[in-house]
Amino acid sequence: MPKKLLYALALAIAVAIALAAPFFGYPVFLMKLLCFALFACAFNLLIGFTGLLSFGHAAFFGSAGYVTGYLLASTGLSPELGILAGVAASSVLGLVVGALAIRRQGIYFSMITLALAQMVYFAALRSPFTGGEDGLQGVPRGRLFGMLDLGKDLTLYYVVLAICAAGFALIVRTVHSPFGQVLRAIKENEPRAISLGYDADRYKLLAFVLSASLTGLAGATKTLVLGFETLTDVHWTMSGLVVLMTLVGGMGTMAGPIVGAFLIVALENKLGDWGTSLAGRTGVDWFGSLGESVGMVTGLIFIVCVLLFRRGIVGEAQALLERGRRGRSGDAARMNPSRDREAA
């Protein structure tokens, strides 16, 4: 089957599943999955296609959530303007952090992003408008454009689906644009890209700000969905979590971060239920404590992926399909040697 036709078929199946999902699952949980999937895809744009490992993306995720939540709860701003304000805040913060961090490379870049993100965390902890350790509570959903009542989970689900689909489409378009090709060149060989006349720092800064903006879009949307914002979203562990999602799913692939986000978030939210069900069916009481061991199970999955799936789940699946396609091409060539002689 041609690759384009295969991709089109996979996209059609994914769209059908996404449209039908709220009729078979809990809409709020599904919306949370979508928000984290967009978060992981935005992070993947930076690490997978630009080669920059940031340990501070939680700052953009949480800051957008705080700005959106505060404006919606305190000023009565409409949800669309609240989300835009959150994205703008994360973009400005991304510009500041990126301008400081891209002056260094490798682990030094990562440590600068982590240090600046911790500053944002302590600012959120001490600032009065964030609610401190209690966080922002009771964020209203409101009405989108004054017409759509977002208080209905089903309506909000399709709005969130549209937002995340638009964000994902922007990432796909960016990666396949001339700008995206330059980012790939910088990732593969930055000195050569510079020798060709490209301003590598400027391109990396643009990629960093775009990644921060999309991360903010995910964080602002998540606050609208759940109705609260807490320090968890700006803590360094959230930055580590999105790294884990991207690596498990497949860094540098389009669908990998989505798969990784779905897997990790599902484990965090459903592992306890699965353990209770297993304990009831097998009579083994140990399964009932799985809900308290989410970190251990997630760590084991990460170790397995590092040892057995070096490219991530989607990356290994793509490699397997590519080997199968090359194997069939080789068999066809051996069965038709005359065609090769004629070509020669």
CA distance 144 to 130: 24
- Regarding beta strands 148-149 and 143-144, do their DSSP bridges make them parallel or antiparallel, or are they unpaired? antiparallel
In CATH, what number is assigned to the domain containing residue 199? 1.10.3470
pLDDT digit of tens for each residue in the chain (344 aa)?
566 777 778 788 888 888 888 888 889 999 999 999 999 999 999 998 998 999 999 999 999 999 999 999 888 888 999 999 999 999 999 999 999 999 888 899 999 999 999 999 999 998 888 888 888 888 888 888 878 888 888 989 999 999 999 999 999 999 999 999 999 999 998 899 899 888 999 999 999 999 999 999 999 999 999 988 988 899 888 998 899 889 888 888 888 899 989 888 888 777 766 667 766 777 766 666 666 666 777 777 778 777 777 788 888 777 777 777 666 666 555 666 555 555 54
Query: Which uninterrupted H or E stretch holds 143?
Result: strand 143-144
Within-domain flag for 237: yes
Gap between the terminal Cα atoms of the chain: 27
Tokens at 122, concatenated? 């302590």
Within-domain flag for 5: no
CA distance 291 to 117: 29
Within-domain flag for 8: no
Who contacts 287 (Cβ-Cβ below 8 Å, separation ≥6)? 275, 276, 278, 279
Query: Which uninterrupted H or E stretch holds 15?
Result: helix 3-20
CA distance 146 to 150: 10
CA distance 206 to 213: 10
Within-domain flag for 127: yes
Within-domain flag for 10: no
Q: What's the domain range around 274?
A: 17-332
Within-domain flag for 269: yes
Count of structural domains within the chain: 1
Within-domain flag for 103: yes
Within-domain flag for 12: no
HSE toward the beta carbon, residue 211, CA cutoff 13 A = 32
Biggest CA pair distance of the chain = 78
